[in-house]
Structure 1
């Protein structure tokens, strides 16, 4: 049913009826010896390339062969104007009965919105100045059996956008642009890292111990070894083994898995880049990430002023603010916060509206204040430095104060985008911290041998050079550069709650 026919129907036909009609049509085509689901079609150009190459002053109109999805059609007697869309954009088609002949013209009229077709024709400008392909031949490549979302508004149900991303990409140009920018961001990150002399490596996603971060892992069972295994929560401990082995500058763009909640900022399966540089420290990593983000933003967006809507502009111009964790807590919770005893901090935290208790370790009380009251206020790029040692067991202590470690967290738009460390390479101190962390988080039935990676400690005992290391949340970085406000908007197929 074409658009002009559908306009005369008093009540819209439901999707089941449309599916039945289109399925019947596909069977009719097959019975007539035609191919409703086509085969190879050699098209010469993407639509956007056709636009760029068109020269209205050329002596002969350029002939093109393109393919894409039929998105709209306007029947005007013996001629039809239609819209064809491919991965690069959209172009108008002009179809004339005089050019195609009665049979082919009738076949074009029977096409449905959503059908994938191949077009051969020549380009021209209409009197209104719109670049158009004058169709000489049309080939049906794939019959669309189900209707697309309403053409003027696209897919507007947010949950459906995530569950049926293919429809979102077909109908929502803004969504398609975000993912095109995501892939461009990844490409530019790799170029930047390689130009800086880093080597891209690969480490195991299936690991016998869940290490390198403090997170709840996904657990599975390896039948061939009759052993429990874990999907990695971080690649850190394996990348540090490579530093021990003599690779001095390494990075990995990897998928990590954490068996935790789903939110605007969290997906249980996510993309991260981890970076390690021998003979560097956390300041090496600060300089690196500052240059990386500004370089990539300029390459992909052409600006360091990123609009996040509602008047919020992220200014990525360097240098970025550097401030200590202690200074931020004192600004928000009172200049005397670190002079209070444990009970005083709990009482002050409650006054500030934070859910804390006397049973919590003292560092957790302070960190609750930081996470609930401070982190989400750090909109412009901010390096938060010198974190409590209990929060980062894999980092070196600061030389002037062993209660804090030589690390940073890069906060942008109220989200942690990248933590970086001066890496701990003392195997004796590393073992002590692992044991202390095990005792602090121990659950009934836990065994130390199941929680502490002895092979990693053995590697450290062979000598790891001093190093700077950093993790970059790629999904969050893409959110920041593209202006997206939810992680689901930058992950092609985000995890969704199961339908009952």
Structure 2
């Protein structure tokens, strides 16, 4: 945008001031939202709305103007013989696209069947010094759309509807869990250890305490401390941080919903999660049937349940149960010429190696909602071992459209077994596995005071929204994604 254009708009601003007009007024009293006004009956008078001017179509003695906000738009009619010559000329000489106005008038329908507000009076509410983008699409503008999301929200319908859906989703999820008698809580973002998931943390420093801290990768161990303290059903909308690679399915800063129920097992949680997804779909889309990758999926039908071993065996021909040693499993993948595209593959423990195998070879094929169960225990350091097969865990993940959108398990509540597993994770970490867990003595102390049976679950808001809105990248599902500094 040229400096001349900005200077011209500033000149108009000064002219408005010289005419005694408040260019940044304190307020404007409305009696309808824009989207509501567009639905009012013809003849409704005294309608007061305000918004940003998004288009102006001029004719000899009248103009059609569109004002909008994130929730909708409405057409306005400005007629010289109805408003008066001076206000009419003032509008055309001094107001621009992008400016804000407040109007009062009467509703009618045009010959082209468009609900329109006939302006009886208008008030200037704010000047835009920069011109709005005329076109906002195409690959060349993708990064700019993320950097200047406010412009993207103004003019891109898909962005508006997707991010409004995010707000509706958060509201629906909160309502669902509250209706199930879960209590919403908050736990710390700054933590001494990075427990609760297999991920690399962001590190920070607390000056007054003179100590290194991590930004949390998950709220898990603190929510479990609340179960020790007497809570029985809790959930949290937790902002989490993982210092990991960028991909279409990963954000370094994201919102996780995590919760725990005392006296439940993972099968109870499977039912809860299914009901939650159906409730969210109904609240956002008024249907449980949506289109993903061009495929119509009815979420109200039964969901597939498949074991980790069976899925990998089907897609790769490798039976992971035959390879208790990670080196042997790695050699098995080499024998079938499988390239898992990992820079430091030989440093991975067996759990993370199996996870890599699954993510590269199996997960992309899972489009319909599928419960993946019976994960190897070395992939789940905080999950309860299965009673029949202690090498597996009582865990499930919900996978839709090649993305894991929910992770849940019956929790490990045996403090002695938990210590053994965290020691094993600490050994992996010292051997170079950056995603292995740290030892967490404070959490182990809490466990030693006693825990009931527990089942827990967690999912990312952005990941769930990405899948349900069939978005290409998770960056489209957050209001302000992180970008490289220019």
Structure 1: give runs of 5+ residues left out of the alignment.
1-13
Change (3 A) 1:296 1:370: same
Aligned to 2:474: 487
> Residues 290 and 318 of structure 1 are in contact (CA less than 8 Å); yes or no, is this contact kept in structure 2?
no
Shift of residue 422, structure 1, vs aligned partner:
0.6
Q: Decide which of 354, 372, 394 is 1:366's aligned counterpart.
A: 354
Q: Which residue of 2 aligns with 1:47?
A: 34
2:55 alignment partner in structure 1: 72
Instruction: Give CA-to-partner distance per residue, 1:191-234, whole Å, 9 cap, x none.
Output: 11011110000101111222111211111111121111111111
Corresponding residue of 2:338: 353
- What is the match of residue 395 of structure 1? 383
CA contact (8 A) 1:244 1:464 kept: yes
Alignment match of 1:84 (pick from 67, 74, 97): 67
User: What is the distance in 2 between the residues matched to 1:461 and 1:291?
Assistant: 34
Q: Match of 2:151, SS?
A: helix
Measured after TM superposition, the shift of residue 51 of structure 1 is 2.8
In the other structure, the counterpart of 1:433 is 421
Residues 394, 423 of structure 1: 8 Å contact kept = yes
Whether the 8 Å CA contact 2:376–2:391 is kept in 1: the answer is: yes
When residues 102 and 154 of structure 1 are mapped into structure 2, their CA distance, relative to the original with a 3 A threshold, is: farther
Partner of 2:322: 339
Q: Look up the SS of the partner of 2:391 in the other structure.
A: strand
Taking structure 1 as reference, are residues 323 and 154 closer, same or farther at Cα in structure 2, changes over 3 Å only? closer
Deviation at 1:156, TM superposition (A): 7.4
Q: Which residue is equivalent to 1:417?
A: 405
- 2:247 corresponds to which residue? 263
Q: Which residue of 2 aligns with 1:280?
A: 264
CA distance in 2: counterparts of 1:234 and 1:102, whole angstroms: 63
User: Unmatched 5+ residue regions in structure 2?
Assistant: none
Task: Determine whether 1:329 maps to 2:312.
Answer: yes
In structure 1, what is the equivalent of residue 88 of structure 2?
105
Query: Which residue of structure 2 aligns with residue 406 of structure 1?
Result: 394
Question: Are 1:475 and 2:462 counterparts?
Answer: yes
Q: Contact 2:309–2:320 (CA<8 Å) still a contact in 1?
A: no
- CA-CA distance at 1:29 after TM superposition: 1.9
For residues 171-194 of structure 1, the C-alpha deviation after alignment (integer angstroms, 9 at most, x for no partner) is: 112211111111001101011101
Select the residue among 433, 442, 455 that pairs with 2:430. Answer: 442
1:296 matched to 2:280? The reply is yes
The reply on whether 1:32 has 2:19 as its aligned counterpart is yes
C-alpha distance in structure 1 between counterparts of 2:177 and 2:209, whole Å: 37
Distance 2:377 2:221 in 1: 18
Q: Which residue of 2 aligns with 1:460?
A: 447
In structure 2, relative to structure 1, the CA distance for the partners of 1:429 and 1:135 (3 Å cut) is: same
Distance 2:192 2:323 in 1: 43
Q: What count of residue pairs does the alignment treat as equivalent?
A: 478
Mark the CA change 1:174 to 1:324 in structure 2 (over 3 Å): closer, same or farther.
same
Q: Secondary structure of the residue that 2:392 maps to in structure 1? A: strand
Aligned counterparts of 1:204 and 1:83: Cα–Cα separation in 2: 46
Cα distance in 2 for residues equivalent to 1:113 and 1:182:
28
Question: More displaced, 247-256 or 356-365?
Answer: 356-365
Could you tell me how far 1:338 is from its partner in structure 2?
3.5
Alignment of 1:296-315 (within 5 A): 296-309=280-293, 311-315=294-298
| Length-normalised TM-score, structure 2 | 0.93
Displacement after TM superposition at 1:259 (Å): 1.2
Deviation of the 1:451 alpha carbon: 3.5
Q: Secondary structure at the match of 1:438?
A: helix
- Encode CA deviations 1:101-153: one digit per residue, 9 max, x unaligned: 22111111121011111011111112222211111111111101101011686
User: What CA distance in whole angstroms lies between the structure 1 residues aligned with 2:138 and 2:38?
Assistant: 24
- SS of the residue aligned with 1:44? coil
CA drift of 1:68 comes to 0.3
Query: Retained in 1: the 8 A contact 2:242–2:253?
Result: yes
Q: Give, in angstroms, the shift of residue 62 of structure 1.
A: 2.5
Residue in structure 1 matched with residue 215 of structure 2 by the alignment = 231
CA distance in 2, matches of 1:121, 1:491: 37
Cα RMSD after superposing both structures: 2.3
488 and 335 in structure 1: CA distance in 2 versus 1, 3 angstrom threshold: closer
Deviation at 1:315, TM superposition (A): 3.3
Q: What does the per-residue CA deviation read over 1:385-437, in whole Å, with 9 as the maximum and x for residues that have no partner?
A: 11111111101111111111111111111011111111000001111111111
Q: 1:252 to 1:455 in 2, by over 3 A?
A: same
